[in-house]
Structures are given as structure tokens and as C-alpha cells.
Amino acid sequence: MTDLVLSESLTAARRRLEAALADAGRPAGDAALLAVSKTKPAAMIREAHRLGQRDFGENYVQEALDKQAELADLGDIVWHFIGPLQSNKTRDVAEHFAWVHSLDREKIARRLNDQRSEDLPALNVCLQVNISGEASKSGVSLDELPTLAEAVLGMPRLRLRGLMAIPAPAETLVEQRRPFARLREALEALNARFPEAHLDTLSMGMSGDLEAAVVEGATLVRLGTAIFGERQRFH
Ligand SMILES: *Cc1c(COP(=O)(O)O)cnc(C)c1O
């Protein structure tokens, strides 16, 4: 992808998000764009950064660390870890990211909490919820969500921000909205149960279902393909 194409696709993605917010009757700027750069080269992240993008999402720890090293001169990138997280990678994530969206187990939370340096701000975390049942193996169930949330709220080096989901693909806007509505209701229920937590983040919506997510209250949409183009490499 050339720089020109990236500037066009990033502009188009920003317009698409603002149009979705307007259609949903929400204020401009009410949801932020997370650029999902997995499998894409550091040069593309640098170009997106030059165009004003600051939040980037990565799925694979080693790939992310390599790109972070290449981009170390850009001091103000906010790195989000959004992929499945294994125990043996928690230290790298605790040390090199500002956010984790894919937290779904207490054991992983404890490790991140123990490994997050006192020199860094608390690690922002979203709990990944398995909102479409059998569609995905990742994510905590709605039943187990309050217990996990309570545990994470007790961890001082983690700052619980909200919920994330990757629903099963659906064709129509109506079908796409259903799981996002469930995630919004789950966040509302947590805020009612833990009012001091002030959970403010719904990480939901990707290139194929951004509009449905925005109608249901997404505050952070995770766009990969729409910004960087199709991915060639699969892990
Ligand atoms: C890859 C990925 C995205 C981006 O998906 P696109 O369909 O390319 O926009 C968003 N969220 C997560 C968790 C991902 O793994």
C-alpha cells in the first residue's frame, strides 16, 4: 500500500466513524479509532502516525516488540495489545503496552498486575467477553464476568476500563447489533454493581461491523483492514 492510499483510507475510516456517530445521534469524537496494525510493517505505522493516528493495536507479542523497537523515536504512540495472551508473554505485555483488551482470566490478570512496573501508569485493561457463545474460545462468559471484574478491580497495577468483544460475523445490521447490545448491557450492569469503578470503555466494532457497534455505544473501534488493507500473512 502506498502512502497516498494509506492517507486516503485513514481519512475514509475517520469519516466513516464520524458518519456512524452522527447517524447514531452521538456527538462527534464520542468514539476513538484504534488502528489495528497486525502483520503490517512498521513503516505503515510510522506513516499513519505522521497523519495523526496515535492508538495502534497489535495481536502478536514478538511482532509488536519488533515494531516498537523500530518506532522508538515516536514517543507518543499508545500501544494496545488485543490478541490472545499466554502466561509466558505477560511480562512483555506488562512492560511494553498501555492497554490490554483481551484479558479473560484471573491468572493472566495477576501476572500482569505483578509484572507492571511502578514506574509506569497502571495498565488499562478491558475484559474480553465471549458474547456469541460457541463462536469463539476466547473471552470470559457473561456468568463469570462479575467475579473476574471484581478480582481485577482489586489489582492496583491494573486499571479496569471496560469490556471488549469479537462477535461471530453476521450479515445484517440488526443481527450485528444484538451481541454489541449485550456487551453494552453487561457494562451497564458492572457499573451498577461497582459504581466506584466508572467503567468507560466499550471496545467493539471492526471493519465489517463498525456501524452496528457505534449504534450500541462503542467508545473504541478497532479497524485493521479498513485502514491498512487486506492482510496477506496469517498466523
Ligand atoms: C484483526 C483484529 C481487528 C481488526 O479487524 P479488521 O476486520 O481487519 O478491521 C480488530 N480486533 C481484533 C481483536 C483483531 O484481532
pLDDT tens digits, residue range 6-55?
999 999 999 999 999 999 999 999 999 999 999 999 999 999 999 999 99
Specify the pLDDT at position 137.
77
- State pTM to two decimals: 0.96
Closest atom of ligand 1 relative to the 101 alpha carbon: 13
Specify the pLDDT at position 132.
83
Q: Class of the 3-227 domain?
A: alpha beta
Closest atom of ligand 1 relative to the 226 alpha carbon: 9
User: For ligand 1, is residue 205 a contact (CB within 6 Å)?
Assistant: no
Amino acid at 216: E
Specify the pLDDT at position 17.
98
Query: How many H-runs (helices) and E-runs (strands) does the chain carry?
Result: 9, 8
Pocket test for ligand 1, best of 82, 131, 138, 211 (most atoms within 8 A of CB): 82
Which residue ranges of the chain lie beneath pLDDT 50? none
Q: Which grid cell is 184?
A: 453494552
23 CA → ligand 1 middle, Å? 23
Please check whether residue 142 is in contact with residue 129, taking contact to mean a CB–CB distance below 8 angstroms. yes
Specify the pLDDT at position 232.
83
Specify the pLDDT at position 96.
98
Amino acid at 155: M
Percent helix, percent strand, percent coil in the chain, to nearest 5: 45, 15, 40
